[in-house]
Every structure is written in C-alpha cells, then in structure tokens.
Amino acid sequence: MIDAELEPTVTPLSAEVPALEVRGLVKHYPGVKALDGVDLVVRQNEVLGLAGENGAGKSTLLKALVGLVRPDAGEIWVRGKKVRLKSVVDAADHGIGMVFQEQSLVPNLTAAENIVLGSEGPGVRRGMYRWKTMRNLAQQQLDKIGSDIDPLARTDTLTFAERQMVEIAKVLRIEQRTQFAPVIILDEPTSVLESKEIETLFTQVRRLREFASVVFVSHRLDEVLDVCDRVTVLRGGESVGEVAAAGAVPGDLHRMMIGSTGSDDHYHGNASQRSGEPLRPMLEVRGLSGKTFRDVDLDVHAGEIVGIVGVHGSGREDVCRALFGAEPTTAGEVSLDGTVLELSGTRAACAAGIGYVPAERKIEGMVGPMSVADNMTLTKQKSRCNGPLIAPKKQATLVDGWIERLSIRTPHRGTAIQRLSGGNQQKVVLARWLVAGDIRLLLLDHPTRGLDIGARSEVYRLMRELANSGVATVLLADSLEEAIGMSDRILVMSDGRATKEVACPAGGKPTPLDLVKEMV
C-alpha cells in the first residue's frame, strides 16, 4: 500500500495553459550557437518527444530546463508563469525533474539514499537517517517501475541498467515537491535497458501521463513514436517543426532531422569484404573463464566483424573487457595473430595491438576537460612527439587531418571534448585507435549508444573501413538489428556461456527472433 504522503496532490490548471513553454531560447558558446531561438510547448498530460541529431541543441535545451544552463535570451514559462531557473533544486521546486543520459547518482551511497536525496522528508529525524523509513520510501518508487533492486544495495555494485532504473525512481520523487502536475524529462532513458525493462518503462511513462507531463528524448525514433503524443524536431539549434506521433514513421522524423531524404538501411550490407578465408584467425579464444563467464571459445579473422549478443547478465560485456585486460580471468588462452597473450592489464593489451571503445564513453572512454587533440592522441603518445617532447605542430597536423577525414564537428582541436555532442565525442574516441595505426583487434562495446541516425551511420562507415583494412572486430551492438546488420558472424551467449554461433552472410541474415530463441 502506498503511503498517503507519497501520493501526488495535484492542483488542476486550465486546460489551455501549457505545463511548460519555451519562447525564443538562445544560448551561445565560444564558436558555437547551441540554441538559436528555440520554441517548445509541452501540454498538460501529454508525452512530448524531442528528436534531433547530435549537436542539434537537445542537450543544451534540456539543461536550460533544469537550471544547469543560463540562456542568453528567450523565456521559460511554467504553468503560465515566466520563471528563471537558477539551479536543479530551483527547477525541482517548480516541478521539473530530469533523468540524465549520463547518470548522476552518488556511487558510494545506497540506492535508497540516492532515490530520496534532497527530499528525505520523514526519512531523516534530528539529522539522522531512519533506515526503515528510507527503505520504504525508496521501495515505493522502485515498485512503481517494477524493479527488484534492493534499496539498501550500494549504487556502485549495481549494473549500468540497474543504476538507470534507480535514476528513474529518483526523479519520480518530484511528485512530492510541488502542488502542481510535475514535468518529467527523460533523456535517453532506454539506452542500456533490455526489451522487458523498456516495456516496463513505457508502462510507467503512460502512467505518468495521467497526472504529469513528460518530455521524452531518444535516438531510437521508433520508441519516440511508440510512446509519445507529439514530436518536436530540432536541427542546428532551431525548432524545425513538429508531427503528431499517430500515423508518423521514423523516416518522417529522420527527414526533418537532417533536412533531406534518409535511408532506412544504415548498415549497407556486410562490413567486411574478404576475398578469401585466412588460414588462421587473427583472434583465437579458447576456454576463457572469469567471474561471470566460463569456457568461452571465439575466433575472429582479419577483416571480420563478429557480434556477441545476449540478454543482460549473459557475460558478454565482461568477455569484451577481459580481452582488453580490464577484467580478470581465471582460465583459458587468448592468442592474437598466433601469439599467446598475457593480458595482465590494459597497457599490455594496447601494446599487443588491441583497441577498446567502452560503453560508458564519458566515464571510461575520454577525459572530459582535455582537448580533442589530447584525447585523440592519448593512447599513442609517440604519434604527437619528437623524442620525449610533445611537438605541437606534429600533433596539430595529425589531429586536423583526422578531424577533416571523420567530419568531426568541433570549433577547434583545442576545444575540450566534453563540449562536443555525443556523436562527435565517439568519433574522437574511435579516431584514437586510427591514429595509433597498429591496431589488429578492435573491441566495440555499444559504440552507437546514445547516437542519432546520422552519427550511427558514420560509426558504421568507420567500422567497415577498419574491417576492410584487415582489422578484426568484436562488436557488442546496441540492438539485435544492429548486430545482424553489421556482423559477419554472431556468437550468442546465455548464462555466461557461448551457446551458439550464427552465420550472417549477405542475403541470408537471421532475424532477431532467431537470435532471441538462443538467448533465453
């Protein structure tokens, strides 16, 4: 039974008054105009989708709506009143909450502490936590989204997907901060969730619509159309139009996002174009075992892309990390181009010619305050040095060449990478291994997570180029469709074991259902 204290008490408004309205919002950064007169209307009790390519201005707009960014011009109206949102707390007091794409939890606190942080209420008395009450408060939020996470579990022991569910439970506490219907912003909430968890989330979003307004942001356009009532599209920092979700298809949104006719086929056939099968695989894995996986065998030939698929907890992510020396193993042998490797750590893996693009790009894949140039040359310092010293001209020539070749949108090579859009950040992370020039095996852990259609197509193109140059690639895809579209072969994992290998020849691709049958 839900505590009466947690039930939202909503003061009704006139139906004509928008829950949230943005008028002519403008925001400049050095060399970049992130927002150029954006207009946005969120009606009461609706789910509004927000779509746009990486760099279209979505992130800046959302940050302005939760008080993280001060706009240079324009107005924000909440329930018919103009407001100035000075902080996240200020936005929360106005009933605006956000689930961030990049997680905002405190890792050394429990799930319960994170969920009620800043709104502990009866969970604290005389400066002391009342743990039973805290647990109950958090459990009630977790129950709303059907999660079985232990409220007293430390957040840093949870998986990425579990932490995302805690984020969603946390933002639902905003129901207790205002007498008016809240506005909940969900920024890429499904990026790491499995299909069952996504459906649970969509059920929750539809429940929220009954007493709140929701802004839903996702690069998966089919999801946007599935759960939203309307969709507003941004391009180049401007509002370029909106469509009713009913009757629309992803292609309609894509054309508005890029300003031209897009293709639904972004994979363009098999990634590799090998003329013959090599005598020996580039990567040979035999009986590899670790904490969450056991007896895994895997072969990847030069110029081949092999996808690994499995449900959450199958062990595939840990296998990928183990091949890069970032996860300990207990048994097995790994050979690269005929040489047995001692993967004692990531430094040894890099020296052996192994590259790795992690799923959590901003945490493990880049150094945010460092420049694009420094991030791009981080792995191979010799590429930018003359002897023991950095050669600025050498680095500038090298980096500018890759910026142009990969169409990386950045004001300057010296711009901090954290200032770039997600797609351009990912290009820089991939370029790091291209700069190295001696990569023989590339491990890609969800390389297109959080990227729009255009940025994903660019990543696919880079993957094909690397494969065609002879690089062996292991892909942990963001979806089964992506794994099927990009892979030459697919290894299915279940409960920590490799259970089946599926061929993916051009013209004879398996269906997602074929793989699901082997995954569960």
Q: Residue 7: what pLDDT?
A: 44
Can you give the pLDDT at residue 442?
Answer: 95
Same domain, 446 and 405: no
Main-chain dihedrals φ then ψ at residue 358, nearest 5 degrees: -75, 160
Q: Which residue's structure tokens are 């042998």?
A: 333
Q: Could you tell me if residue 497 is inside a domain?
A: yes
The residue with greater pLDDT, 502 or 389, is 502
pLDDT tens-place string over residues 311-343:
777 899 999 999 999 999 999 999 999 999 988
**Is 358 contained in some domain?**
no
Are residue 227 and residue 291 in the same domain, yes or no?
A: no
Confirm if 99 and 168 have CB atoms less than 8 A apart: yes
Q: Are residues 47 and 152 in the same domain?
A: yes
Same domain, 408 and 294: no
Collapsed DSSP state (helix, strand, coil) of residue 217: strand
Confidence class for position 185, pLDDT limits 50, 70, 90? very high
Q: Is 430 helix (H, G, I), strand (E, B) or coil?
A: helix
* Strand order through the sheet with 20-29: 32-42, 20-29, 73-78, 81-83
Is 342 in the same domain as 413? Answer: no
Task: Provide the β-strand partners of residue 40.
Answer: 22
* Residues linked to residue 212 through DSSP beta bridges, in sequence order: none
118 and 182 housed in the same domain: yes
pLDDT band for 262, please (50, 70, 90 cuts): very low
Q: Which residues pair with 407 in a beta bridge?
A: none
Same domain for 78 and 58, yes or no, is yes
Mean of per-residue pLDDT scores for the chain? 84
Instruction: Write down which residue in 258, 289, 318 finishes a domain.
Output: 258
Percent of the chain residues topping a pLDDT of 90 = 37
Q: What is the mean pLDDT of residues 405-421?
A: 87
- Residue identified by tokens 């905003």 is 174
Beta bridge partners of 235: 238
Q: Burial code of 431-441, b = ≥16 C-beta within 10 A, e = fewer?
A: bbbbbbeebbb
Model pLDDT for residues 44-58, shown as the tens digit of each residue: 999 999 998 777 888
Residues 46 and 95 in one domain: yes
CATH of the domain at 245: 3.40.50.300
Contacts of 147 (CB under 8 A, 6+ apart): 162, 165, 166, 169, 200
Q: Which domain holds residue 295?
A: 265-353+439-520
CA 73 to chain centre: 30
> Is 55 a domain residue?
yes
Which of 121, 92, 94, 93 is closest to 104 using CA atoms? 92
Do the beta carbons of residue 287 and residue 319 sit within 8 Å?
Answer: no
Is residue 251 a contact partner of residue 263, using CB atoms and an 8 Å limit? no
- 57 and 41 in a common domain: yes
Cβ atoms of 150 and 139 closer than 8 Å = no
Say whether pLDDT at 1 is over 50: no
pLDDT of 519 strictly over 80: no
Give the global pTM.
0.62
Strands (E) across 2-146 are located at 20-29, 32-42, 47-51, 73-78, 81-83, 96-99, 124-125, 128-129
Whether the Cβ atoms of residue 372 and residue 420 lie closer than 8 Å to each other: yes
Chosen domain end from 196, 230, 258: 258
Q: Is 485 helix (H, G, I), strand (E, B) or coil?
A: helix
| pLDDT at 15 exceeding the cut of 70 | no
215 and 154 assigned to the same domain: yes
What one-character-per-residue DSSP string does 234-259 give? EETTEEEEEEESTT--HHHHHHHHHT
Q: Is the pLDDT of residue 260 over 80?
A: no
Structural domain tally of the chain? 3
Residue 118 forms part of a structural domain? yes
Structural tokens at position 24? 């002519």
Domain boundary among 235, 258, 281: 258
Residue 401 three-state SS: helix
What pLDDT, on the 0 to 100 scale, is given for residue 465?
86
* Whether residues 202 and 299 fall in one domain: no
Cα dihedral sign, 99-448-42-3: negative
Let me know if residue 505 belongs to a domain: yes
* Tokens standing for residue 481: 């469709």
